[in-house]
Amino acid sequence: MSDTVALALQDAVNGLLLGGMYAAVAVGFSLVWGILNIVNLAHGALVMLGAYVTYWLFTTYHVDPFLALPLAGCLLFCLGYPLQRLAINRVIRAPLLITFLFTFGLQLLITDLAQIAWTADLRSVTTAYSGRSLVVGPLTVPVVRLAGLAIALGLAELIQLLMTRSRLGSAIRATASDLEAARLMGIPAAQVYSLTFAIAAATAGIAGGLISLSFPIFPAMGPTYTLIAFVVCVLGGLGSVPGAVAGGMTMGVLQTYAAAWLGPNYDDIVAFSVLIAILLLRPGGLFGRARRFRA
């Protein structure tokens, strides 16, 4: 195998591993956007909180970061439910600009509080196995990122099963499709909205924990991951869990190849250019349909 082919395969592996993290970030964002019809600009702040929960559990209580992921998800679920019920629910039927401004303000508030509490210093989760890799022929696969990919795919599958095989998922889909009909069927819309947002917050917390294992974390990291989630959801298809996975993988591979073959400044240029091209050909994204949920 030539060096060029080996390098191309290594870049593909790195891109898929990065894409798994992107998919984990985007699943919850897609859920809120598709069901509540809200572009949650505070999603990245919830990812940041999940990263810090994992970090503090590891550094203070010596909880293994992978074991801390369910705890981070549970804590973010407990935060997301009252946050939607008491705050976001008040603007859920407001014009899009109002929800934009509200969630943007929420993003700033959470970021500022985090910066006061933890300062702006860069932190990272470094374990005894952080530098370990699997060597498969010419390929080197970091153990932490491979485990992160497996967790991200498992999380997406769990959300997909919840949405398609459970009574709660049926209630969520019914509420998203026709709010008034769902109410006539006895579905408590406010409860469904709160649970949907809480589930999305839990996935954001788990995604943040995965990020803390591979990248430095800091209070102002949220907007970057909100943008990533937005692009991945549009690329894969709004409201589609498989679309979030496919969009995340696609973006990860595109960015990795662009950075490796064109230079580090071209990763976002290439990814966004392909996004525009795909939307011109398929306005609903890779797996979505050209429609919007009404909340």
Q: Which two tokens stand for residue 259?
A: 């950075």
Q: Give the residue extent of every domain in the chain.
A: 3-281
Q: What is the distance between the alpha carbons of residues 45 and 168, in angstroms, rounded to a whole number?
A: 26
Written as tens digits, the pLDDT of the chain (295 aa) is 677 888 899 999 999 999 999 999 999 999 998 888 889 999 999 999 999 999 999 999 999 999 999 999 999 999 999 999 999 998 888 888 899 999 999 999 999 999 999 999 999 999 999 989 999 888 999 999 999 999 999 999 999 999 999 999 999 989 888 888 888 888 998 899 999 999 999 999 999 999 999 999 999 999 999 999 998 988 887 777 888 999 999 899 989 999 988 888 888 888 788 878 877 887 777 766 544 433 3
CA dist 205 and 71 (Å) reads 9
pLDDT at 289: 56
| Single-letter code of the amino acid located at 230 | F
Q: Determine the residue type at 175.
A: T
Question: Which of these CATH numbers, 1.10.150, 1.10.3470, 1.10.30, 1.20.1270, describes 3-281?
Answer: 1.10.3470
Supply the pLDDT for residue 201: 97
Closest CA to 99 of 37, 19, 11: 37
Measured distance between the N- and C-terminal CA atoms of the chain, rounded to whole angstroms: 54
